[in-house]
Amino acid sequence: MRVYFDNAATTALDPEVLKEMFKVMEGQFGNPSSIHSHGREVRTLIERSRKTIAGLLHTSPAEIFFTSGGTEADNTAIRCGIVDHKLTHAITTKLEHHAVLHTLQAMQRSGVIKLSYADVDSKGNVDYNHVETLLKNNDRSFVSLMHANNELGTLTDIEHVGELCEAYNAMYHSDTVQTVGHYKHDLSKLKLHFMVCAAHKLHGPKGVGFLHINHKVKINPMIYGGSQERNMRGGTENVYGIAGLAKALEMAYAEMDAHQSHIQDLKDYMKAQLEQSVPGVSFNGETDSSKSLYTVLNVSFPEMEMADMLLFNLDIAGISASGGSACSSGTDIGSHVLTAIGANPDRPSVRFSFSKYNTKDEVDYTVAKLKELCAVVI
């Protein structure tokens, strides 16, 4: 059996999305910036896709800008938001994805900003009181706090953070890559200035995503070269990817309740089976389902001599997952997230992340293999 439990890294392309992309590839090849009929036809397709996405998110199509994915969207929001609005202070946590963390740290090193880290607890929950204190003690800030942690699954209350940012006249960016298509976002109510999406996290194609920019925010492009995306992102648009992204998000919204129920059941089932089968197993991140991303289960296994071989042995058994351990020293290459929450560096951790395509049989197979592996190497 081959099992894929690494859906937080990327998801399988949905056949219906592929069908939609093929339809465009076969019949619509014009450059959307061209004024002739071939170009206008493709421009119409892009704007129809933009309108579909905006409608699902309850925002204006004028606030959706297509990008190459989440990393570009995060970088654009952070770099342009801070520089163009002359902000000198930023607030984040040490749990953020490197697309956010490394960007802010680079801006700190170059002297553009002072960077503050909000406290988090051992489950990855953000200390909102500390966020408010940092907002109080600094002039207008740029705040970047992700919606769901990609390693732990712990959710941040982006509604509450948005209200705090509004109260202190701060700019708020949230990396929502793990939650777009898995939760409904109403941008007419959320007090967000920027949010991002990567299509491949919701059964769409790789290499395409979008950045939502609130109409109240004006920034300059990060990528120059043409008038595409209403002068906000130079370069010929990834037409096939955009069509696939719109189709994937449309399907995700139509099937969301059923998929959430199915995946949450799988996650709960695997957690219970592991507790029964592997002595000493524990779980990283928030375990309350209302505070945790339903697609992610981060498992900490007992200390073992060959901890670094656990993922390799799972791969040999046909099981794809990801993970690591906390850094035991400044030179170790480990999980910055597990390190930040104070996880035991001697215990290997594995992130299992689920999709609509996973089954209980796959969970049973994986748990049985983990039981064997832990019994051998402990």
Let me know: does 131 contact 158? Beta carbons within 8 Å: no
Helix (H) or strand (E) segment spanning residue 117: strand 114-117
The residue behind tokens 């979008």 is 210
Let me know: does 101 contact 144? Beta carbons within 8 Å: no
Grouping H, G, I as helix, E, B as strand and the rest as coil, residue 320 is strand
User: And the tokens for 154?
Assistant: 């712990």
Q: Which of 80, 165, 197, 327 does the annotation list as catalytic?
A: 327
Distances (CA, A) of 13 to 3, 118, 245, 257, 310: 16, 36, 10, 20, 28
What phi-psi label fits residue 230: left (phi over 0), alpha (psi between -120 and 50 degrees) or beta? left
Beta bridge partners, 213, equal 194
Euclidean distance between the first and the last CA atom of the chain, given in angstroms as a whole number: 25
No. of helices (H) and no. of strands (E), the chain: 11, 13
Let me know: does 312 contact 91? Beta carbons within 8 Å: no
Active site residue 327: yes
337-354 exposure pattern, b = at least 16 Cβ within 10 A, e = fewer: bbbbbebebebbbbbbbb
Let me know: does 244 contact 21? Beta carbons within 8 Å: yes
Distances (CA, A) of 370 to 19, 192, 273: 37, 41, 11
Q: How far apart are CA 103 and CA 97, in angstroms?
A: 10
Annotated active-site positions, please? 327
